[in-house]
Amino acid sequence: MGGGFGSKLWAGRYTAIAARLAKAAGAPVKLMLSRRDEHLSTGNRPSSLQKLKLGASRDGTLVAFAATTWGSAGIAGGAGVALPHVYTGMPTWKHTHADVYTNAGEARPFRAPGSPQGCFSMEQLMDEMAEKLGLDPLEFRLRNDPDQARQQEWRLGAERIGWAGRQPPGSAEGPLKRGLGLGASVWQTGGRGSHAQIKIFADGTVELRIGTQDIGTGTRTIVAAIAAEELGLPIDAIRPLIGDSDYPYSGGSGGSTTAPSVAPAVKNTAEQAKLQVAELAAPHLGVEAGQVRFAGGRLHGGGKSLSWQEVCGLLGTQVLSASGQWVEGLSSSGVAGCQFAEVEVDIDTGRIQVLRVVAVADCGLVLDRLTTESQINGGVIQGLSYALFEERHLDPITGTMVNADLENYKIAGALETPQIEVILFDEAERGVIGIGEPPTIPTAAAIANAVYNAIGVRLRQLPMTPDRVLQVLGA
């Protein structure tokens, strides 16, 4: 259960143990890890050490970038950092990376692996360069961001957060200082390769079968909705059957690939089924199959109409079956986005309170608005948790995590969650894209830039805990 990343994206030793026990017992076996085991046995999100250089001309155009980075890969590889982040238009740039092996278990993807780390540093560096050039940080980004969708998204988010009223860094009066910050995101993963099957029975039942899993991200809802819309039926008329190896092959549920993989396959399958149903109904409506219209649970043509149940009744003892697959052009990759944060910093205690986050997300064709907004809210909260609370402490001798519980490994709760405003940047012509990972990428960076705007001093280490705030203020 949970997102398709980290400990859940592929099998671990615990998965193999459960499978072998089930085979030996000849019965289902469920293995559920304790909270401590979840921390100790399922891998680690890589940390990152970065040294960056950025060059720009006096007119505010980026011209050069250099980075040397290290990532804690545990006992395996895969601790890279996404740099130079979204600012890829520079004529000269270089990035050298090395994985550092530790005894802490393998690196695992933790919602957009490598991107929050790169965004946190690069977006702060962009702010610093803007300040050196005497430019507004937003204006500096508009000059250097090559993504045309995000050019519009920057302006939408800035208007909603009230960027025009942003004060100079460190100018706020009193012990509670407020500031505004911003950050960009990009995620490239698309989807392909899925297959699906629809079976229609004489009593009007519609079964949709597809091999993907639903791990809490709403896959059942979106596949049923697509089939229902195509066949002109209410969503509850579709029975989505998923996650069985007997069903048509589909890709794994995770990595922001699920919706762009399954949605085209389901639409294509529903279209095939629709053609067969139209051919069944056409003689009874007195029209050609191509003239049959599906709407409101009825089939229309030639001034007549038949209910869905009436048409399906024509099947008799037969079952109508249609198969389809992923189709080029119905989904895409490359998800642009940006976020703006407003924070309040108590300089007496060092506590950072995030007050508001405006998240502008590139969504392609939105299949289910509530599910989409929920994914973005979740990504923002997880990004805030990464920014302010989450920190793994390892024993320097054994590499064992010493705070493997939720008392000492802090995460954001209800009291720390800010007002989150989601703006969906619809581009239906792009088809379906994955939205699971991108919203968590810019949150920590936007908060860090907002903290600097509030107190006039930068924090270059995560999480930005009260003691670290007081340290930089004291220095």
Give CA separation, 116 vs 41, 46, 402, in Å.
Answer: 23, 11, 24
- The yes or no reply on domain 195-325 and CATH 3.30.70.2190 is no
| Phi (first) and psi of residue 466, to 5 degrees | -55, -40
**Bridge partners of 339?**
183, 359
pLDDT, one tens digit per residue, over 23-55 is: 999 999 998 888 899 888 888 889 999 999 999
For position 374, what pLDDT does the model report? 92
pLDDT value at 2 more than 60: no
pLDDT, one tens digit per residue, over 356-370 is: 999 999 989 999 999
Q: Rounded mean pLDDT of 145-153?
A: 95
Provide the mean pLDDT of the chain: 94
User: Alpha-carbon distance 273 to 188, whole Å?
Assistant: 32
Both tokens of 274, joined, read 């629709």
pLDDT, one tens digit per residue, over 75-130 is: 888 899 999 999 998 999 999 999 999 888 888 888 999 999 999 999 999 999 99
pLDDT band of 3, cuts 50, 70, 90: low
pLDDT, one tens digit per residue, over 267-286 is: 999 999 999 999 999 999 99
Of the two residues 301 and 172, the one the predictor is more confident about is 301
pTM for the full predicted model: 0.94
- The yes or no reply on domain 48-189+332-474 and CATH 3.30.365.10 is yes
pLDDT value at 1 more than 70: no
For position 325, what pLDDT does the model report? 97
pLDDT band of 6, cuts 50, 70, 90: low
For position 123, what pLDDT does the model report? 98
Domain 48-189+332-474 shares a fold with domain 195-325: yes
Domain boundaries, the chain: 1-32, 48-189+332-474, 195-325
pLDDT-above-90 percentage for the chain:
81
